[in-house]
Amino acid sequence: MPLLFLNERSWATTCDRRRAGEAMADFIDAVRAVVKEDPDDTALVSEVARESLEIAQGYTIGDWFLDDPKNRDRWRRLRALQNRSPVKSVFPTPDADGHLEYRHLGEKVLGLGAAHFMKGIAVSLAVAPEWTPALIDLERSELVELDDGTLEFEQGSVEVRNISVKTHVDDHLDWIRKTRLARADSGRQIWERRADLYPHLEFLPAVEAQLSDLNPHWIVPVRQRLEQLNTATAAWDTKNRPEPEWPAKVTPEGENRKRACQFKDLDGETRTFDLHARFTPGAGRIHFRLIRQEKGKLRIAHIGDKIPAGRPAPQNSVS
């Protein structure tokens, strides 16, 4: 479903009453424009129930009703939309984002971060310049486990989709429609829809069971890593580059661990799938090998925990 995450930082500000009231009307019009694209499954996600929100400091929903007779009708239309709270109620598990932290201009953010993590859209009141762009920059910290078992924070910048006025919906319309057609809310759905979601990736048969039994904590991170790998492979210039330009860390295994990364390939031969991408929380790994041809492919052999060093190789020849 399209998840619209309320940007709590844009509410209860010191904005003047007139501007806050106009921003509230724009907010509802924008949300309703998204609902029009998917009326049955769109949900507004907030940390607290929307009835308890304060539009600006000292300016409540009840005050807003008094400013314009039309506002009560606007609010009724918003109330017809599903409201999910708290924010973590829509996560695969309540602590699914425990390894992540998002900040905007140095301040921790909940709704904006959740919108990025869950591949949804943030919805904001346009009461300040920072909430008016269709894309908002965030700082993201992720706790990752390295191959040697040590933990470190990886820092980076990300963009989150944002809607605060109706014209923003046009900016994101193609994405909203594609998302509606390509939902995958479980590991099983990732497997069943793999050909449509990841046309540049191939999967060994054993991956079906791994995805079907995927830890709920890993559904969103695995889906995001597969999307990144698919995008990188689609853009791979096989004539001029030995491998794709990876958007996230991809490394080979050391010589001592390569034997543990041997799998029986689609043609029955045993090959080494030691290239791997990481995902968190924990030591999640996606192991694959590259297939160089006119249009490159990436073939995945393993999605799950870090492969034990002593894993035995299949019994046949290695190529």
Query: In this predicted structure, what is the pLDDT of residue 318?
Result: 42
Grade residue 142 by pLDDT with cuts at 50, 70 and 90. confident
Query: In this predicted structure, what is the pLDDT of residue 131?
Result: 95
Q: Is the pLDDT of residue 180 over 90?
A: no
The model carries a pTM of 0.66
Mean pLDDT of 141-153: 77
Q: Distance between CA 270 and CA 255 in Å, rounded?
A: 17
Query: In this predicted structure, what is the pLDDT of residue 98?
Result: 77
218 phi, psi to nearest 5 deg: -100, 0
Mean pLDDT of 186-196: 90
Mean pLDDT of 132-160: 87
Question: What is the rounded radius of gyration, in angstroms, for the C-alpha atoms of the chain?
Answer: 23
Grade residue 185 by pLDDT with cuts at 50, 70 and 90. confident
Query: In this predicted structure, what is the pLDDT of residue 317?
Result: 44
Q: Is the pLDDT of residue 215 over 70?
A: yes
Mean pLDDT of 275-299: 89
Query: In this predicted structure, what is the pLDDT of residue 143?
Result: 82
When the pLDDT of each residue in the chain is averaged and rounded to a whole number, the result is 88
Percent of all residues in the chain with a pLDDT value above 90, rounded to a whole number:
55
Query: In this predicted structure, what is the pLDDT of residue 197?
Result: 86
DSSP-derived pairing of the beta strands 284-291 and 275-279: antiparallel
- 83 neighbors 43 (Cβ within 8 angstroms): yes
- 239 neighbors 215 (Cβ within 8 angstroms): no
Dump pLDDT digits (tens) for 30-40.
999 998 887 77
Mean pLDDT of 199-208: 96
Residue 186 DSSP class: S
Grade residue 294 by pLDDT with cuts at 50, 70 and 90. low
Q: Is the pLDDT of residue 247 over 50?
A: yes
Q: Is 135 helix (H, G, I), strand (E, B) or coil?
A: strand
Amino acid 30 reads A
